Amino acid sequence: MAGYLRRYWRGFTLIELLVVIAIIAILAAILFPVFAQAREKARMISCLSNLKQIGNGLMMYVQDYDETYPNTKAWGRSWTGENPNPANPDSLRYLPDLVNPYIKNADVWFCPSLGKANSTPWGWNMVQNGTTYIWNHQTNNCTLCNPQVGAVNVTASKIATISAPAAAPVVWDIPYWGDRIRSINFHQQGINVTYADGHAKYYGNVKFNPVEDWWNTHACLGFTAEASNVNQCNP
């Protein structure tokens, strides 16, 4: 019986092995991008959760400070050029420093798609900057919406002065535009945005390549009656 089995048993031929390898390679080429998209979708959802928590913390801050938004420094420490100094309270006037006491989780300030290791085009890493998100310290001059509308200060403004809080972006992600960061397809060509009323949502179809400067086209939306229509800023 053993001799019979040895006589009729044979291994795979080279052609059969090559066919199996080719099939595996084709399946891998098809499935790997799908897996990558699924991972990025999970990061996008996690990022949106971060911005929802930031929006909740921001609203708690506003309620505690007479319906007034945080009196922060510019858009981030990459612009102010200083680290927070506990001995100098004035140096702690950046959004994470003011709002994080209401959130109590420093990790929510970092988008998982960008991470803490990346650096801004100005040489600051995200940990030094305190966040990967941008605070809309001041809207653009809104000339795309209405040439007569100047820049609007969001910092230290009253919520009652905003004409459409649900349409006014105050925090959003992937802000530090530069050729290296712009070329990465974050969040499936979209970004997450927190609005002045505290809610957050995903904003799709942002064209990073060629680059859309989202601040130039959207930062003023909802802050003035003239700028409340998206079509006026983004025809």
C-alpha to C-alpha distance for 232 and 216, rounded to whole angstroms: 12
CB 50 within 8 A of CB 116: no
- Structure-token match 């079509």, residue found: 231
The average pLDDT across 172-179 equals: 62
CA–CA separation, 138 and 80 (whole Å): 14
pLDDT in tens, 43-79: 889 999 999 999 999 999 999 999 999 998 888 777 7
Q: Map tokens 């991972």 to a residue.
A: 39
Higher pLDDT residue, 72 or 200? Answer: 200
Grade residue 231 by pLDDT with cuts at 50, 70 and 90: very low
Q: Name the pLDDT band for 233 (thresholds 50, 70, 90).
A: very low
pLDDT single digits (tens) 92-125: 788 998 999 999 999 999 998 887 877 666 666 7
Specify the pTM: 0.78
